[in-house]
Amino acid sequence: MNDHHHRPGPRPAPPWSGDWVADRLGVTLRGEGLPALLGLALRENPKRAHLLVSHVLGKHIPQRPALVHGTGVRLGRRVRELLGPDAEDAVVLGYAETATALGHSVADGLGAPYLHSTRRAVPGVRQAGGFEEEHSHATSHLLLPEDPALLTGTGPLVLVDDELSTGRTVRNTLHALHRRVPRARYVIVALTDLRSAADDEALRKTAADLGTEVDVVALCAGTVELPEDVLERGRRLVAEQHAVS
């Protein structure tokens, strides 16, 4: 009689947590439910050492499509409840590149038309607006709707990003778009709201200065605590990874 010994295969890798970068940069995520939604990756950027990577976005790490789409749809339904009858006139705008699909999912939940920004000018397509994302490697966003009338209405505009860190990009967007077409109401949607109290006050001031109403809808709120030397730590860590690659 022959004995057949089953040799177990390799164990599956544990889920990516983002702790490797967080530990080396000394960055701490604080907020109920926040660590379950986010992890940290290293960013080769002189303005920002870390990249917040979502576990439910489906953009950088694998995730079940039903969870990815369902998360955005759930946020869109919350916006629909918030807007009430005004939801019928809403338009959704998603930020390139990370929130393009999330914005589409939010639009599905809200039942509204959708447009996302782009970094690339398209010959023959008229630009309907633009704004700046100051911390990004590619700062300029362009709005190139197929139907130029999409952004000329005065109903609520829903701005969708994966996370709100300082809200500066949102404030830039509000100034740029409100100057073209003033609206009575905007809704900012994000998976996570990481703004400080000063950032929240800056958004309130922007709304007051523009004479409009701005609401924020997010899955959870929290803070990212950074050491003073985080940029230097990031540069060293990037250099170390280049040296071993």
91-94 sheet: strands from edge to edge: 114-116, 91-94, 157-164, 185-193, 213-221
Please name which of 169, 221, 230, 215 lies closest in space to residue 197, comparing C-alpha atoms.
221
Q: What is the DSSP letter of 208?
A: H
> Which stretch of 3-12, 63-72, 116-125, 230-239 has the lowest confidence by average pLDDT?
3-12
Percent of the chain with pLDDT over 90: 61
Match domain 65-223 to its CATH number in 3.30.465.10, 1.20.1270.10, 2.30.42.10, 3.40.50.2020: 3.40.50.2020
d(CA 83, CA 138): 33
pLDDT on residue 105: 98
Higher pLDDT: 45 or 103? It is 103
pLDDT on residue 40: 92
With 80 as the cut, is the pLDDT of residue 131 above it? Answer: no
For the chain, which residues make up each domain, given as ranges? 65-223
